[in-house]
Amino acid sequence: MAEFLFLFRGVEDMVSQSSPTEMQQHMNKWREWMSALASKGHLLGGQPLDVSGKVISNKGQTVTDGPFAEGPEMVSGYLIINAAGMDAAVELSKACPVFEMEGNVEVRPIQKMEV
């Protein structure tokens, strides 16, 4: 098994246009999907991300408000997944509720790093 990162992008516009009831229904779909991943041993962790943050640059000398990405580029959350390979990880991502909100999933292999 290998670890993969699912990055969720492009849902901020749809979230801002959804009613509280619609958002609750959508969040329930996320919980169901993530519970199914966990019950099969695929879900290792993950969280939604707040829209605020800071960007540190210039060798740590510059701190600005961020992130600067907007719309489809904005990362709204992530999961760390265990899967047999890239094809299996992609298949797991296809049931993600992010697609109902016109979002997308970027699937990235996590490289092992020795410390």
Could you read off the pLDDT of 8-18 as tens digits, one per residue? 988 766 666 77
Assign domain 2-109 to its CATH superfamily: Dimeric alpha+beta barrel (3.30.70.1060)
- More reliable by pLDDT, 23 or 111: 111
Instruction: Give the model's pLDDT for residue 82.
Output: 97
Could you read off the pLDDT of 77-109 as tens digits, one per residue? 999 999 999 999 999 999 999 999 889 999 999
Q: In what order do the strands lie in the sheet with 2-9?
A: 43-48, 75-83, 2-9, 104-109
Mean residue pLDDT across the chain: 90
d(CA 115, CA 108): 21
Give me the mean pLDDT over the 68-78 stretch: 79
Instruction: Give the model's pLDDT for residue 33.
Output: 97
Instruction: Give the model's pLDDT for residue 68.
Output: 67
